[in-house]
Amino acid sequence: MASSDASGLVGRRVVLGISGGIAAYKAIEVCRRLVDAGAHVAPVMTAGAEHFVGRTTFSALGSEPVQTSLWDGPNPIPHTSLGQTADVILVAPATARVLAAYAAGLSTDLLTNTLLATRAPVIVCPAMHTEMWEHPAVQANVATLRARGVHVVEPESGRLAGGDVGAGRLASPEAIVAAVERVLGGGRFAGLHVVVSAGGTREPIDAVRVIANRSSGKQGYAIAAEALARGASVTLVTTVDLPVPHGAAVRSVETAAQMQEAMQELAADADVVVMAAAVADFRPVRAATGKIKKDGGVPEIVLEPTPDILAGLGATKPVGQILVGFAAETSDLVANARAKLERKRLDLIVANDVAAPGVGFQHDTNAVTILGRGALQCTVPLADKRTVAVAVLDIVSQLRAETSTFDPSPHHRSLTP
Ligand code: PMT
User: Residue 415 Cα, ligand 1 centroid: separation in angstroms?
Assistant: 27
**Which comes out higher in pLDDT, residue 412 or 56?**
56
pLDDT, position 226 = 86
pLDDT(187) > 70: no
Q: Where are the domains of the chain?
A: 7-186, 193-402
Say yes or no: do domains 7-186 and 193-402 share a fold.
Answer: yes
pLDDT(53) > 70: yes
Question: Reduced to 3 states, what is the DSSP secondary structure of residue 137?
Answer: helix
Distance CA 234, CA 110 (A): 36
pLDDT in tens, 85-133: 999 999 999 999 999 999 999 999 999 999 999 989 999 999 999 999 9
pLDDT(7) > 50: no
- pTM metric for this prediction: 0.67
Task: Name the residue at shortest CA distance from atom 5 of ligand 1.
Answer: 361
Distance CA 247, CA 221 (A): 12
User: Residue 366 Cα, ligand 1 centroid: separation in angstroms?
Assistant: 13
Distance CA 78, CA 179 (A): 26
pLDDT(8) > 80: no
Question: Reduced to 3 states, what is the DSSP secondary structure of residue 38?
Answer: coil
pLDDT in tens, 191-205: 899 999 999 999 999
Annotation marks residue 141 as catalytic: no
Query: Which of the listed residues 201, 240, 242, 279 should we mutate to test ligand 1's pocket, taking the one with most ligand atoms within 8 A of CB?
Result: 279
Q: Which of 113, 141, 213, 366 is catalytic?
A: 213
- Which ligand 1 atom is at minimum distance from the Cα of 263? 39
pLDDT in tens, 342-400: 999 999 999 999 999 999 999 999 999 999 999 999 999 999 898 899 899 999 999 99
Overall fold of domain 7-186: Rossmann fold (3.40.50)
| Residues within a 6 A CB radius of ligand 1 | 215-219, 256, 275-279, 281, 306, 308-310, 325-328, 340, 352, 354, 360-362
CATH of domain 193-402: 3.40.50.10300
pLDDT band at 337 (very low <50, low <70, confident <90, very high): very high
pLDDT in tens, 391-408: 999 999 999 988 764 333
Task: Name the residue at shortest CA distance from atom 37 of ligand 1.
Answer: 308
Task: Name the residue at shortest CA distance from atom 17 of ligand 1.
Answer: 278
User: Residue 277 Cα, ligand 1 centroid: separation in angstroms?
Assistant: 5
Distance CA 213, CA 37 (A): 46
* Percent of the chain whose pLDDT exceeds 90: 78
User: Residue 351 Cα, ligand 1 centroid: separation in angstroms?
Assistant: 9
Distance CA 266, CA 195 (A): 7
Distance CA 398, CA 186 (A): 14
- Give yes or no for a contact between 244 and 176, defined as CB atoms under 8 angstroms apart: no
| Residue 233 to residues 54, 189, 191, Cα–Cα distance (Å) | 43, 8, 7
Average pLDDT over every residue of 227-242:
90
- Which ligand 1 atom is at minimum distance from the Cα of 217? 1
pLDDT band at 10 (very low <50, low <70, confident <90, very high): confident
Please provide the average confidence, as pLDDT, over all residues in the chain: 91
